[in-house]
Amino acid sequence: MALRAFPISTKSGISAAALVVVLILGALLAVMSRAETGAGFVSSDWNALRFTVWQAFLSALFSTVLAVPLARALARRRFVGRGILVTLLGAPFILPVIVAVLGLLTIFGRSGWLNAVLAQAGLPPVSIYGLHGVVLAHVFFNLPLATRLLLQGWQAVPAERFRLAAQLRLTPWAVFRVIEAPVLRQIVPGVAALIFVICLTSFAVALTLGGGPRATTLELAIYQAFRFDFDLGRAALLSLVQLVVAGGAAVIALWVLPVISLGGGQDLPQRRWDAHGGVQRGLDGAVIVLGAAFLVLPLMAVVLRGAAGLTQMPPAVWAAAGSSLFVALISVLLLAVLALPMAGWIASKRAGGVEAIGLLGLSASPLMIGTGWFILINPVMNPADLALPVTALVNALMALPFCLRIMVPRLRDTVQDFGRLSASLGMQGWPLWRWVILPRLAPQIGFAAGLTGALSMGDLGVIALFADAERVTLPLQMYRLMGAYQMEAAAGAALVLLVLALGIFWACDAMGRRYAAA
Amino acid sequence: MLRLEGVEVVQGAFCMAADMALVQGRKYAVIGPSGAGKSTLLGALCGFVPLAQGRLFWQEREITNVDPGARPMTMLFQDNNLFPHLSVTQNVGLGIRPDMRLGKPDQARVAQALDRVGLADQADKKPGALSGGQQSRAALARVLVQARPWVLLDEPFAALGPALRNEMLDLVQDLVAENNAGLVMVTHAPEDVRRIADEVVFVGAGRAEAPKPAVALMENPPPELRAYLG
């Protein structure tokens, strides 16, 4: 039945969307006004562009290709701890980048665990800096994401098909060709595109593991032009290039971007009758052990090293932790104010074209927006005074596309199921939100808020542009400690940051679930 | 009097015309083959389906473009008649105040309605904790407090067993009689028509026929209705 007059007001949704557009376009215009095209693109800029695309391509390639056997093994094996492992696969997405980098450095760094083992065996040490370090870190973040998305696809395959395959006694190769390959063909392009886009705007990884003429991303080049040379013209020019590259890729990814789910139902493996052979079982086991080790060891390293470093942290770390908490909370509030009305607007429309506005956040790089707003604020007041609010705002914008993906499907269902009832009761405006939409969406809102809080907590991006000596967030403080080679203190800060980021995620998520269950 | 004047509903290739007047206090059964547009007719009355043409009047006041919540009718759908996250009391309370600001007298009315449908001891439960019959009773309690001149039923009891369904229909009959409301209900079952309806609206072949007295029609059905009844 065609619905008329569903009572969600679209006015606030349109206003929120307009605000997002203004915030991003305002930054873009400011950047364009300062971009000195006359200065031209020098060879180091070309290098940055080439490196940005190349590392994103490699990261997407390795993440996706390695995720296929891992997701396959997880989809068809039952073992103790499988549920925990699948949950852990969600962790890197909300893990502060700088924390993960410290974990990776502890394992793969110059005096890390791997090189200690290699030295024992009399082999030459490996270095984590440069292209392979950047790609390694990106794979660490995105392999679990890709695995989860692939696993979702795998588990959406109706059980009847595997039953049929068992009855027909299909060989492993035939099962792959008939059942699994079509699934992969459907999901892999979207997953790879998503990771490619995410890695294009990577900053913190390149800042810590890259650098130099051969391993600088555009995002890092913007930062360097800005911070070291205070060359606003060049920063603006690079920002424009970044916008074209990342924006173009994001527009393409928009059509293939997979749905981000709460991960419900992934805890139970499907009953399978194929792949009982010893070789396959052994291979799956090895893949799972390797995947789990790659995921768990760096995290363990952070915890072990951090516990030892807690006593050596300067008091500035606690002040920075306070600032970070403040930034994260403001981000969550801003997100709620922006995302809820936008989701309401999108969900009451049949086609999802409006969602593209939310995706603007994904295409515009944080440093581009930061540069733009620095240019706008600079003549009026000291940008450092606004470092924390601007960081909170940009972080909320960055989380917006993911949060819309989380909330809109559920809101659509709510409109479908309860729109007529609400309308026939004359519910609209605040009562409609208070009594229908917010309670129905509580788990999704909690999850989205937790995601935003954790991402904002761990973000090392815009703050690096704006901050001065006093106004720092915890990730930046930690980066400064690492830069000063106070690795033990940095490890302590990493542990604090890890606990705060995971804690804020857990708190929001649990609140949403509890509210829904009450 | 509820009047449909030259009403036409168009949804893609589907099209339905209706021209009739319904009298408050009488009970109408809407019957006809699947897909003929029975639910669409109710949706049009309630304001969920836009009219391509024609006008709708309630007591000489035009309500063609009035919001669903402001129309003189309350409707029970096939499903989702209760919010699963709200208690029975809250669900019923929404019928009085959509913003849930219930004063003392309002709360008394809710309790009274729950008592009337036999749910006084289930007031604080969520719908999920109730049986199918109890859920129907809760929805009817809300219909009772809404006290609108018209009650529209789009087969809300379809999932209940025959005995329970008859029980609900009897309860509906009592409730509309108490409020002196009119009743329009979609049904597939000829025995429902005999049990409850004064008049029958037959929907078929792109048209909702004007109501005819139920007894006469069921005893001597025209060819189209005979084909449907089998």
- Substitution target in B83, B87, B150 with the highest count of A β-carbons within 10 Å is B83
Partner B contacted by A4 (CB < 8 A): yes
Q: Coil, strand or helix: which one is A26?
A: helix
CB burial string B156-186: b at 16+ within 10 A, e below: bbeebeeeebbbbbebbeebbeebebbbbbb
Partner B contacted by A427 (CB < 8 A): yes
CA distance A1 to chain B (A): 7
Give a yes or no: residue A286 inside a domain.
no
Task: Give the range of the structural domain holding residue A389, as residue numbers without chain letter.
Answer: 1-34+313-518
Task: Please give the pLDDT value at position A273.
Answer: 65
A2:B11 CB<8 A:
yes
ipTM of the complex: 0.86
Chain A partners within 8 Å of B100 (Cβ): 431, 434-435
Chain B partners within 8 Å of A425 (Cβ): 69, 94-95, 98
For the ranges A271-280, B155-164, B170-179, the lowest mean pLDDT is seen at A271-280
For the ranges A288-297, A362-371, B157-166, the lowest mean pLDDT is seen at A362-371
Cα(B10)–Cα(A263) distance, rounded to whole angstroms?
41
- Substitution target in B14, B38, B48 with the highest count of A β-carbons within 10 Å is B48
pLDDT bucket at A160, cuts 50 / 70 / 90? confident
Chain A partners within 8 Å of B80 (Cβ): 417-418, 420-421
pLDDT digits (tens, 9 = 90+) for A464-500: 888 887 789 999 999 999 989 898 999 999 999 999 9
Q: Are strands B2-11 and B14-22 parallel, antiparallel or unpaired?
A: antiparallel
Among the partner residues B48, B86, B90, nearest to A4 by beta-carbon distance: B48
pLDDT digits (tens, 9 = 90+) for A350-375: 655 666 666 666 667 788 888 888 88
B98:A428 CB<8 A:
yes
Residues pairing with B2 in the sheet: B22, B58
**From A413, which residue of chain B is nearest by alpha-carbon distance?**
B80
Residues pairing with B8 in the sheet: B17, B53
Once rounded to an integer, what is the mean pLDDT over residues A49-58? 94
B80:A430 CB<8 A:
no
- Substitution target in A6, A421, A445, A515 with the highest count of B β-carbons within 10 Å is A421
CA distance B48 to chain A (A): 5
Q: Residue A138: which residues within 8 A CB-CB, separation 6 or more?
A: A55, A56, A59, A63, A195, A199, A202, A205
Q: Residue A373: which residues within 8 A CB-CB, separation 6 or more?
A: A26, A27, A30, A383, A390
Give a yes or no: residue A179 inside a domain.
no
B80:A1 CB<8 A:
no
Average model confidence (pLDDT) for chain A?
A: 85
Partner B contacted by A2 (CB < 8 A): yes
For the ranges A170-184, A497-511, B80-94, the lowest mean pLDDT is seen at A170-184
Once rounded to an integer, what is the mean pLDDT over residues A65-73? 93
How far is C-alpha A514 from the geometric centre of its chain's CA atoms? 25
Task: Please give the pLDDT value at position A5.
Answer: 44
Q: Quick check: B139 pLDDT over 60?
A: yes
pLDDT bucket at A385, cuts 50 / 70 / 90? confident
Give a yes or no: residue A498 inside a domain.
yes
Cα(A184)–Cα(A178) distance, rounded to whole angstroms?
11
Give a yes or no: residue A280 inside a domain.
no
- Substitution target in A414, A424, A444 with the highest count of B β-carbons within 10 Å is A424
Q: Quick check: A38 pLDDT over 80?
A: no
Give a yes or no: residue A434 inside a domain.
yes
Once rounded to an integer, what is the mean pLDDT over residues A408-422? 88
Cα(A390)–Cα(A463) distance, rounded to whole angstroms?
8
Task: Please give the pLDDT value at position A2.
Answer: 42
Once rounded to an integer, what is the mean pLDDT over residues A252-264? 57
Chain B partners within 8 Å of A426 (Cβ): 67-70, 98
What is the greatest pairwise CA distance in chain B? 56
Q: Quick check: A1 pLDDT over 60?
A: no
CB burial string B16-49: b at 16+ within 10 A, e below: bbbebebebeebbbbbbeeebbbbbbbbbbbbbb
- The size of chain A, in residues, is 518
CA dihedral A127, A132, A137, A141 (to 10 degrees): -150
**Start-to-end C-alpha separation, chain A:** 32
Q: Quick check: A289 pLDDT over 60?
A: yes
Give a yes or no: residue A195 inside a domain.
no
> In which element (H, E) is residue A357 found?
helix A355-363
Task: Please give the pLDDT value at position B13.
Answer: 86
Chain A partners within 8 Å of B74 (Cβ): 424
The dihedrals phi and psi of B62, each to the nearest 5 degrees, come to: -75, 130
Which ranges of B68-213 does DSSP label H, i.e. alpha helix? 88-93, 104-116, 132-146, 162-179, 190-196
Cα(A438)–Cα(A8) distance, rounded to whole angstroms?
12
Give a yes or no: residue A271 inside a domain.
no
Vertex B58: Cα angle to B57 and B61 (nearest 5)? 70
A426:B68 CB<8 A:
yes
Q: Quick check: A72 pLDDT over 50?
A: yes
Report yes or no: B201 and B17 within 8 Å, Cβ to Cβ. no
pLDDT digits (tens, 9 = 90+) for A417-433: 898 899 888 888 888 99
State the CATH number of the domain containing residue A446: 1.10.3720.10
Task: Please give the pLDDT value at position A45.
Answer: 85
Domain count, chain A: 1
Q: Quick check: B137 pLDDT over 60?
A: yes
Once rounded to an integer, what is the mean pLDDT over residues A135-164? 87
Q: Quick check: A267 pLDDT over 60?
A: no
Partner B contacted by A424 (CB < 8 A): yes
**From A3, which residue of chain B is nearest by alpha-carbon distance?**
B48
pLDDT digits (tens, 9 = 90+) for A311-335: 888 989 999 999 999 999 999 999 9
Cα(A35)–Cα(B190) distance, rounded to whole angstroms?
78
A424:B95 CB<8 A:
no
Partner B contacted by A9 (CB < 8 A): no
**From B92, which residue of chain A is nearest by alpha-carbon distance?**
A425
Task: Please give the pLDDT value at position A262.
Answer: 43
Kindly report the number of other CB atoms within 10 A of residue A28's CB atom.
20
Number of Cβ pairs closer than 8 Å across A and B? 74
Q: Residue B115: which residues within 8 A CB-CB, separation 6 or more?
A: none
Among the partner residues B50, B81, B100, nearest to A4 by beta-carbon distance: B50
Q: Are strands B150-154 and B73-76 parallel, antiparallel or unpaired?
A: parallel
Cα(B73)–Cα(B50) distance, rounded to whole angstroms?
16
Report yes or no: A74 and A481 within 8 Å, Cβ to Cβ. no
Q: Coil, strand or helix: which one is B78?
A: coil
Chain B partners within 8 Å of A436 (Cβ): 83
pLDDT bucket at B57, cuts 50 / 70 / 90? very high
Partner B contacted by A439 (CB < 8 A): yes
Among the partner residues B50, B85, B98, nearest to A439 by beta-carbon distance: B85
Give a yes or no: residue A291 inside a domain.
no
Q: Quick check: A260 pLDDT over 80?
A: no
Q: What percent of chain A has pLDDT over 90?
A: 33
Comparing A170 with A195, the larger pLDDT belongs to A195
Task: Please give the pLDDT value at position A395.
Answer: 92
Report yes or no: A192 and A186 within 8 Å, Cβ to Cβ. no
